[in-house]
Amino acid sequence: MNRACVTGLLLILFLAPALYPQGLAASRIKDIASFEGVRDNQLVGYGLVVGLNGTGDRRQTFFSTQTLTNMLERSGITVSADQIRVKNIAAVMVTATLPPFVRKGSRIDVTVSSIGDADSIQGGVLVMTPLKAANNEVYATAQGQLVLGGFSAGGGGNRVQTNHATVGRIVDGGLVEKEVPVNLAGKTELTLVLHGSDFTSATRAARVIDESVGSDVAKALDGRTIAIKIPEGYTNRVVEFMAVVENAKMDVDFPARVVLNERTGTIVLGKEVKISSVSIIHGSLAIQIGTILGVSQPAPMSQGKTTTVPQTTVSAQEEKGRVLTLHEGASVEEVVGALNSIGASPRDVIAILQAIKAAGALQAELEII
């Protein structure tokens, strides 16, 4: 992607909020906050995948054969781990997310990841695995045929692999066995928690909630937490009241920030980024060193030998410095346009913005990823 395309894309992204009415850019409360207590729960379990085509754990992974031994003993078959010589099993960790309000018998997706030295778990079947939460209680079980987004084939030095062959998913492979209680009946107050801490956004959220309900019920406690009293008209309709609150729309405020990715040369600037009065001199020095191989030919009938003679050339070229002046309060569009006018590439812009920040003229947070 050339410099003109990159700059054009940046300008489109930054000018977009100004091209559309402010109301269309408003976010719903449900997209920037969540009610306290209404959340997901993470589950994890240790299991065994069977039915692999010789791509399972090898002898270096002892716990997979021990797991198989314990499983066989529970089925009434006594066997020593030293007697097992199989390559079609793999020890795995099973993870899942338990959404709020799920009931017993509900289905959830699970992710299966190899923890041994298996080459691939393609075509394997997960044996029933209990999934536990942080309190060490079982909330679901998982079992089923694995589906991978890639494959691994071949052997020895000839192997073809696409994507990741040691992680798979089982759609609806988890069965909920225990519910997480969330009781909304009889509540007189709710707590709304913003995903990001910002006093301006918290104050705006409390104001738009009051406007949506038609009464003074919301109060911002800090930059992230909002306490909401349930009106008398919604005493027995708490869920309906929560739906009204989460669909209220507001303009989200955020700090001025510049994000730089030095690996890819990506630059993202917020619309509130401002630059104080500053002058920039941009130029570069190019040095080229080359070697020309000449041939030294001896005279006829002489005893000399033909040899090559290296001739080194050195040239240096320094571009004329280009001067750029940014006035007080320059906006994002002005900054990007000005840097593009002096021929700065995305990586040059990164270095220039770092220098401006070091000089104290960049009125924004500078984050490098």
**pLDDT per residue as tens digits for the range 271-281:** 778 777 777 77
DSSP H or E run through 335: helix 332-341
Residue 82, classed as helix, strand or coil, is helix
**pLDDT per residue as tens digits for the range 2-57:** 444 444 444 434 444 443 344 345 889 999 999 998 989 999 999 999 999 888 88
Q: Which residues contact 89 (CB under 8 A, 6 or more apart)?
A: 48, 49, 50, 52, 56, 57, 64, 65, 68
Gyration radius of the chain's alpha carbons: 32
Q: What residue has token string 């038609």?
A: 214
Q: What residue has token string 């069977």?
A: 50
Indicate the domain borders of the chain: 27-36+183-250, 41-176, 257-368
Q: Do residues 140 and 133 touch, judged by C-beta distance below 8 A?
A: no
State pTM to two decimals.
0.67
For the chain, helix (H) and strand (E) counts, in that order, are 7, 23
- Determine if residue 265 is left, alpha or beta; phi over 0 gives left, psi from -120 to 50 gives alpha, anything else beta: left
- Integer Cα distance of 169 and 180 in angstroms: 24
Q: Tell me, rounded to whole angstroms, the distance of Cα 139 from its chain centroid.
A: 27
Which among 324, 345, 334 is positioned nearest to 273, based on CA atoms?
334
Q: Tell me, rounded to whole angstroms, the distance of Cα 262 from its chain centroid.
A: 17
Burial class (CB in 10 A: 0-12, 13-18, 19+), 153: middle
DSSP H or E run through 282: strand 278-282
Residue 75, classed as helix, strand or coil, is coil
Q: What is the pLDDT along the chain (369 residues), one digit of tens a residue?
A: 444 444 444 443 444 444 334 434 588 999 999 999 898 999 999 999 999 988 888 877 788 888 888 888 888 888 776 777 788 999 999 999 999 999 999 999 999 999 988 888 988 999 999 999 999 999 999 999 999 876 666 655 566 666 678 999 999 999 999 998 888 888 889 999 999 888 999 999 999 999 998 889 999 999 999 999 999 889 889 999 999 999 999 988 878 888 888 777 787 877 778 777 777 776 654 444 555 656 667 777 666 677 766 666 655 555 565 666 666 666 666 777 777 776 777 777 778 788 888 888 788 888 888
CATH class held by domain 27-36+183-250 = alpha beta
